[in-house]
Amino acid sequence: MHLSPRRCVPNFRGISSGGYVMGAVRAKTMPIAFRFLTCVTMVCLCGCPLGTPRDHYRPIGHGDTTIAVSPMDDAILFNAAGTGGRDLYRLNLSDLNVTRIAETTDYETAPGYSPDGLRIVYAAGVPGDRADHIFTIRHDGSAKTQLTDMDANDTSPRFSPDGEMIVFARDKTYNWGGMAANWEPGGVICLINADGSNLRQLTSDEHFAFEPYFSADGTRIVYSTVNGRMSIPVDGSAAPQPLPGPFGAVPSYDGKSIAYSKGKYSPDLKIFIANADATSERVLTTNIGGCYRPTFTHAGDQLYFLREEWPDGATGVPKFSVWKTAIDGATVRMLSDRGLFDAPLSWKPRTTP
């Protein structure tokens, strides 16, 4: 599981109430000019203590890039550089042609298909709004519909197997300071009907949850916590139950397997697959590292994943290329280089896959 790094937000309350260990008397006697200069210096270094409530921090490089496979396994849906910072695109797997779903000023992330392939659900930040919300749009870019609008950051939406519901992760705790808004990639797990009705929260505020998925039969939500995987009924009728396997594990569409990225550091990360009960684990990307975000095909015979690169060295920003592997690990090959995410409409494959 690859999560974007959290921004550090200074504790200005602590500073203003004696964080410099000087006491009230000394603070009173400090020359006004020096106090003003100190405040200006802290603002420059740490950001304005009043914050910028309309800003929304975005990771550099490809840190918020995700991919999804179409129900027919004939296309990959992804977000990449576009008019709003990130637009949605479709990569046709038969000829590797790229088309844009819609050109908007929104910053669009985490797209996924409905079971019939006609609709797309995704999270997006609208200009002037500090949080991302859940939207749906038709595969041809028409009928865009906003489903959520609370002052909370919504992400990782996915359709139910029957297409009637959408599950997503919501961060209701917002920290801000300087020129960046700080949202987490999770918080609580929520459900909403695909038409935007009947929004409800499934998990408690006390436990950080992320990366939700529907079970193969649509009756339960599988999600991750820092302590591992959990499962809860969609109607919330029972308490969450632990599941085997590491946090961030992705279930196959038939529910029989899980895939995940594992390693100590980024260069060590490899894609693993195991049975749903976490038995019979095996590595699929033996000879390459930096592997993230495995995604099953609906047929279950292949996995697509992202591989991290640092083309400008440690002082640059991370970029991703798209790779694929058979679930037996017999064939592992690159599908696209990092140019697919930097300039998707002008990208061309280097060689015929």
H/E stretch holding 26 reads helix 23-29
Tens digit of each residue's pLDDT (9 = 90 or more) over 290-328: 999 999 999 999 999 999 999 998 888 899 999 999 999
**Higher pLDDT, residue 17 or 53:** 53
Tens digit of each residue's pLDDT (9 = 90 or more) over 6-43: 333 333 223 222 332 233 333 333 455 544 454 444 44
pLDDT of residue 35: 45
- Reply yes or no on whether the pLDDT at 329 is more than 60: yes
Length of the chain: 353
pLDDT band at 337 (very low <50, low <70, confident <90, very high): very high
pLDDT band at 63 (very low <50, low <70, confident <90, very high): confident
Distance from C-alpha of 315 to C-alpha of 31, rounded to nearest angstrom: 41
Q: What is the Cα gyration radius of the chain?
A: 22
- Reply yes or no on whether the pLDDT at 251 is more than 90: yes
DSSP characters over 156-184: EEEE-TTSSEEEEEEE---EEETTEEE--
- Reply yes or no on whether the pLDDT at 3 is more than 50: no
pLDDT of residue 315: 87
Distances (CA, A) of 274 to 25, 69, 119, 135: 64, 20, 30, 33
Instruction: Kindly report the pTM of this predicted structure.
Output: 0.83
As given in the structure block, the two tokens for residue 34 are 């020096």
Share of the chain above pLDDT 70, in %: 81
**Higher pLDDT, residue 346 or 182:** 346
**What average pLDDT does the chain have?**
85
Distance from C-alpha of 23 to C-alpha of 73, rounded to nearest angstrom: 66
pLDDT band at 182 (very low <50, low <70, confident <90, very high): low
Tens digit of each residue's pLDDT (9 = 90 or more) over 101-113: 999 999 999 999 9
As given in the structure block, the two tokens for residue 45 are 């270094």
Tens digit of each residue's pLDDT (9 = 90 or more) over 122-146: 999 998 888 899 999 999 999 999 9
Distance from C-alpha of 86 to C-alpha of 123, rounded to nearest angstrom: 11
Domains annotated for the chain, with CATH where assigned, are 67-342 (2.120.10.30)
The CB density around residue 270, as the number of other CB atoms within 10 Å, is: 18
pLDDT of residue 42: 43
pLDDT band at 2 (very low <50, low <70, confident <90, very high): very low
Decide: 284 and 295 in contact? Cβ < 8 Å: no
Distance from C-alpha of 305 to C-alpha of 263, rounded to nearest angstrom: 15
What average pLDDT does this structure show over 33-60? 50
pLDDT band at 351 (very low <50, low <70, confident <90, very high): low
Decide: 39 and 49 in contact? Cβ < 8 Å: no
Distance from C-alpha of 258 to C-alpha of 276, rounded to nearest angstrom: 6
pLDDT of residue 49: 39
Tens digit of each residue's pLDDT (9 = 90 or more) over 268-298: 999 999 999 999 999 999 999 999 999 999 9
**Higher pLDDT, residue 183 or 5:** 183
- Reply yes or no on whether the pLDDT at 88 is more than 80: yes
